[in-house]
Amino acid sequence: MPLSGSGETPAAQPLPVSFPPPVGTPPVRHRRPTDRRPGPADPATDDGSAARPAAEPTDLTDRQLVFFGAETGEPAVADLAGLLAGPGEVHRMGGTARLSVEVTAAWRVHVLVAELARRGVRSSWTPTDDQRYAVRTAYTRAIVPLAAAWLRGSTQHPPPGFQLDGRRLRLWLAAAGVADPPDFLLHLGGSEPARWAVVGAALAAAGLTGDLVATGPGGCAYRIAGRRRTRRLAELVGERPSASPPSAWPARV
In a domain, 222, yes or no: yes
Between residues 236 and 2, the one the model is more confident about: 236
Domain that holds residue 183: 58-248
In a domain, 199, yes or no: yes
pLDDT in tens, 108-162: 999 999 999 999 999 999 999 999 999 999 999 999 999 999 999 889 999 999 9
In a domain, 72, yes or no: yes
Q: What is the total count of domains within the chain?
A: 1
Question: Cis link prior to 182 (omega < 30° from 0)?
Answer: yes
Q: Rounded to an integer, what distance in angstroms lies between the CA atom of residue 199 and that of residue 172?
A: 11
- The pLDDT value recorded for residue 221 is 97
Q: Is the pLDDT of residue 166 over 90?
A: yes
Alpha-carbon distances of 233 from 39, 50, 90, 102, 167, rounded to whole Å = 25, 21, 25, 22, 11
In a domain, 181, yes or no: yes
pTM of the model: 0.76
Distance of CA 192 to the CA centre of its chain: 20
* ∠ Cα 126 130 132 (to 5°): 45
In a domain, 6, yes or no: no
The domain spanning residue 109 has which CATH number?
3.10.28.10
- The pLDDT value recorded for residue 74 is 86
